[in-house]
């Protein structure tokens, strides 16, 4: 499993984002991702990948940016990968 944390510059509606995310998930047959939207504009994303087949970090960040764009939001977004065992 890979864990990413995003800090958004503005609030994103979770339901709208998840609908936009599903478009890419169906097209790319990507691993499942669980999203935890936080009240401080943060989002913790848990990617159900395997150690032998991780989701490329640059590709993941691009997919998140596309989903944000699809919901009409273009916030400044910092996404960082959390080391295994690190707390979000």
Neighbours of 88 (CB within 10 A): 14
Neighbours of 12 (CB within 10 A): 20
Residue 67 lies in a domain: yes
pLDDT at residue 23 is higher than 70: yes
Residue 88 lies in a domain: no
CATH of the domain at 75: 3.30.70.100
Domain holding 40, by residue range, is: 2-82
What rounded mean pLDDT belongs to the chain?
82
Per-residue model confidence (pLDDT) at position 70:
85
The rounded percent of the chain whose pLDDT value lies above 70 is 83
Per-residue model confidence (pLDDT) at position 61:
85
What's the structural domain count of the chain?
1
Instruction: Check residues 76 and 41 and name the one with the higher pLDDT.
Output: 41
Which structure tokens are listed for 40? Answer: 């401080």
Residue 87 lies in a domain: no
pLDDT at residue 2 is higher than 60: yes
Give the chain's length: 88
Whole-angstrom distance, CA of residue 71 vs CA of residue 36? 18
Collapse the DSSP code of 4 into the 3-class scheme (helix H, G, I; strand E, B; otherwise coil) and give the result.
Answer: strand
Task: Work out the average pLDDT over 31-60.
Answer: 88
Q: Please list the residues that pair with 7 across neighbouring strands.
A: 42, 78
Residue 6 lies in a domain: yes
- List the 77-82 sheet strands across, edge first: 33-37, 42-47, 2-8, 77-82
């Amino acid at each position: 499993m890979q864990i990413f944390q995003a800090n958004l510059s503005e609030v994103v509606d979770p339901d709208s984002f998840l609908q936009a995310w599903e478009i890419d998930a169906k097209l790319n047959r990507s691993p499942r991702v669980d999203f935890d939207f936080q009240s401080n504009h943060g989002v913790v994303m848990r990617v159900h990948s395997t150690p032998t087949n991780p989701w490329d970090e640059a590709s993941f960040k691009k997919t998140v940016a596309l989903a944000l764009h699809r919901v009409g939001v273009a916030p400044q977004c910092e996404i960082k990968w959390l080391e295994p065992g690190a707390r979000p």
